[in-house]
A and B are shown apart, each in its own frame.
Chain A
Amino acid sequence: MLELRSKKHLMDNTTKSSTKIKKKKLYSKYFRENLEYMLMVAPGFILTFIFSYIPMFGIIVAFKNIDYKKGIFGSPWVGFENFKFLFQFPDVKIIVRNTIGYNLVFIVLGIIVPVTFAIILNQIRNKLASKFYQTVMFLPYFLSWIIVSYIVYAFLAFDLGLVNRTILAPLGIQPIEWYGKPEYWPFIIVFLHMWKTTGYSSVVYLAAITGIDHELYEAAAIDGATKRQQTFYITIPSISTIIIIMLILAIGKILSADFGLFFNVPLEQGRLLPVTNVIDTFVFRALRINGDIAMSSAAGLLKSVIGFFLVMVTNKIVKRYDDSKALY
């Protein structure tokens, strides 16, 4: 992909020099054009500035003791007091463990499963069936986490739930109080994450696979390469760029979490918190339920800074090994 891009750049440069004379003639229009382009980016620029950049400067609230009466600028500076306060909070270790732990599992499975599925979908002989599977796999992606919460509740409710009632009862197993048993939830959460995202990622990888030149496979087949060898020596290396880009982006989000999955699906049950509390739900609870700006802003800032740092480092490492596969 990058090769293509650099080729295009070369072409751009050559055309640029040849059209240089033409451009000089149009110089009076040059300024007007740029003005028009500026007007085009204006709405997006303003909104991005307000909703993304002002909050970036707003990270100073993490170092302040916010008093609404005095305003953000009038509130006194407290240095790293908020962070100290945050780390004294007893659950912090568990929260960080949960966030990173789940994300690591998500990253590993989120590459292995969709790539495998994409390879299989590409090899299935019946193309119509392959299309059908893609469509169906995409379905969960369209459901909001609220709807998913209702579905999960239909499965796991104590008295009427499908699992207790229809599956466990005929087997003579006592009904399980799912919403009170933290030991099951890591599996439920990982399953739901995969259930919701696999279709989407599989299609991304499948699109990359269908873009691979068929002659490569033909040549390999003539040389006697087995199907498995073709997969490992042609398919996977060919889509490694997109895999690595997805990986870098995922690593940058290692401290984030799908809010709905961790907050709504477990029905905010206190007993499940040891396995469902992650940084995002913690920040939300601190801000919206306890109104604790100090702790939530400190946690939010740490999350952003570490996430940013991780993207930079991963990108650097990738760049060192293979420049063309880096994100930027």
Chain B
Amino acid sequence: MNKRRIKEYAVSYSFLLPFAVFFITFTIIPIGYVFYLSLHDGNFLQAQFDWVGLKNFKDVLQTPDFQNAFKNTFIYMLIEVPVSQFLGIFFALLIKKKTRFGHVCEVIYFLPMLISMVVASVLISYILSNNGPLNMLFQVLGMKPISWLNGRFSAKMAVMILELWKGGTFFVFVYMSAMRSLPADCLESSRIDGANVVQETIYVVLPLIRNAIILCVTMNTIWQFQIFESVYMLTNGGPLGATQTVIYEIYQYSFKYYRVGFGAAASLVFLLVILLIYGLENLLLREKDKTRRRGKKNEQI
């Protein structure tokens, strides 16, 4: 009996084995390694890494490039996340009823998710180019054309436009599927009680998709924190560092200046920030469960 059980376990582990090999080599070991690297100084060319303690972390926090990159990243996050969430909910409300026209819209809204950030950046940089269609529209409307990639703020705007165009419609789909799975009786009873569309949205639909909103906001925040490819393609961090992001700087310091320890320390600081965001999300989600439980108790009484 015991022997058979051991054999069963062995078979179970054998199913896990292929994944375990990849997972340990390319996820677990690198996680341990990054802690080691962050406490050492060295570059890719040297075989040796010298122990320097917490010096790298001190350097990261004191380097103006990184302070600037964190500031930029927060700006991206604070502007892009509310805009894309608002638009996501707004368009999901418009498109949630299944119609033929709606389906065509869905298919087209999906296209930016299909292409790579590289292709998306080619498209958007053409739209935003000095003689491009957007500036032509501005001129037709009697406004001044903008040289998007040359101004400190307008270059940030350009990155955000690219991010929004590429990633914004994703949230339309997430909210749409959340709204479509809502119980029909809730909406019906609010209609019977005489709620108009706006009231229904604010008091019935939004509270019911609260979890989806928290999830989307967290996801979006973390994406915005990880902006790299769009900046690399569109502006290369310029003009004068106005669009640098944390990951862009980590890339620069580790793979252009070969400061491996410094880059490792920076990526751990970055990890800490991400963990804080997740912690906040969990707190918010748990609060919801609590209130729900409380509500149930009251009902029983």
Report if A and B associate in a common complex. Answer: no
Which B residues are within 8 Å of any A CB, using their own CB? none
